Amino acid sequence: MPSALITGVSSGLGRAVVARLSREGWEVTGTVRTLEGAGAKGHPPGVRLRVLDLSRPESIAELAAAVLAESGPPDVLINNAGTLHFGPLEDAPPAEIQRVFQVNAFGQIALALAFVPGMRERGSGLIVNVGSLGGRMVFPFFSVYNASKHALEGFSEGLWHELKPFGVRVKIVRPGYIDTPIYEKASVDRAGVAGASQIYRDALTKIVEFERRVTRRTRPEEAAEELWIVVNDTSDRLAYPIAAYARSLLFARRLIGETRFLRIAHGRWFGRS
């Protein structure tokens, strides 16, 4: 059975993907930031949990070394772990910007690169990066998060080219809205609105309201089903929009053009200017 290493399986999409692959009999290793309480998350029996904190480069190196020593590079690496930041760019502390890029981009890149030589020498492997709709378009106050996802897009496309001659495939998924705790973990309301510069308050309040009204969020299990299809797509396709609104928003932007799309989105939150 194929083996898969999936990062960030304590909740949300990662947790559902672990269940989906395990159901097929795959050999699944998932990462969590701490093993404390991880057993209570109800992962299927047979799933191996390992510790990974992407904000600490030494943790990435330790995980990669342990996996390589035990079983070599996995057949499939799913770079799923991610963290959200919300708020005006000028309010974002530099250390927070660094943290988000470390977890969502540098950490993902470092982990993938740890397995690339082995996959290349073996002549097979699949790296699936979990990007975001926000890796293709940016909404106000998601600038830091979305910029980190843009970085992941660039990295994925570059690696796609570099590894294609060696039989190693690279893919990126671009989720729209999935019903996971990622927003609560980012403390959107507290960090975003209450702590924000007065000058951005109105627009911030509008976008928080807008996000709250997005009730059609894909269930993690359904998103995992879409990801399962991606994992099994043996074509050289790079990118896949998945989950609610991803396809429609990307299509709308292409259809009406970038500037018009930006103006319409801007007017919604900032009024006409």
Q: Which of residues 8 and 87 has its CB atom nearest to ligand NAP in the complex?
A: 8
Quote the CA–CA distance of 135 and 129 in Å, as a whole number.
Answer: 11
Query: Is 111 in a helix, a strand, or coil?
Result: helix
* Number of neighbouring beta carbons within 10 Å of residue 20: 20
Q: For the chain, how are helix, strand and coil distributed in percent, rounded to 5?
A: 55, 15, 30
Q: Which stretch binds ligand NAP (CB under 6 A): 53-61, 70-78, 196-204, 262-270?
A: 53-61
Site for ligand NAP, residues 169 to 228, rule: CB under 6 A: 175, 177-178, 180-182, 185
Count of chain residues binding ligand NAP (CB under 6 A)? 27
Quote the CA–CA distance of 146 and 163 in Å, as a whole number.
Answer: 25
Q: Least distance in Å: CB of 199 to ligand NAP?
A: 28
Q: Which of residues 13 and 204 has its CB atom nearest to ligand NAP in the complex?
A: 13
Q: Is 240 in the site for ligand NAP (CB under 6 A)?
A: no
Site for ligand NAP, residues 137 to 166, rule: CB under 6 A: none
Q: Is 67 in the site for ligand NAP (CB under 6 A)?
A: no
Q: Least distance in Å: CB of 230 to ligand NAP?
A: 13
Site for ligand NAP, residues 118 to 137, rule: CB under 6 A: 130, 132
Choice among 145, 177, 183, 240 that is catalytic = 145
Q: Which of residues 25 and 224 has its CB atom nearest to ligand NAP in the complex?
A: 224
Structure tokens at 252: 């709308």
Report which of 74, 71, 69, 80 is spatially closest to residue 18, judged by C-alpha positions: 80
CB 32 within 8 A of CB 9: yes
Question: What does each C-alpha distance from 42 to 13, 18, 30, 37, 79 come to in angstroms?
Answer: 14, 11, 13, 10, 21
* Number of neighbouring beta carbons within 10 Å of residue 58: 8
Q: Which of residues 1 and 251 has its CB atom nearest to ligand NAP in the complex?
A: 251
Asked about 177 being catalytic, the answer comes back as no
Q: Which of residues 83 and 143 has its CB atom nearest to ligand NAP in the complex?
A: 83
Quote the CA–CA distance of 87 and 265 in Å, as a whole number.
Answer: 17
Which residue of 17, 49, 53, 156 would you call a contact of ligand NAP, by CB under 6 A?
A: 53
Binding residues for ligand NAP (CB under 6 A):
7-14, 33, 52-55, 80-83, 103, 130, 132, 175, 177-178, 180-182, 185
Q: Annotated active-site positions, please? A: 145
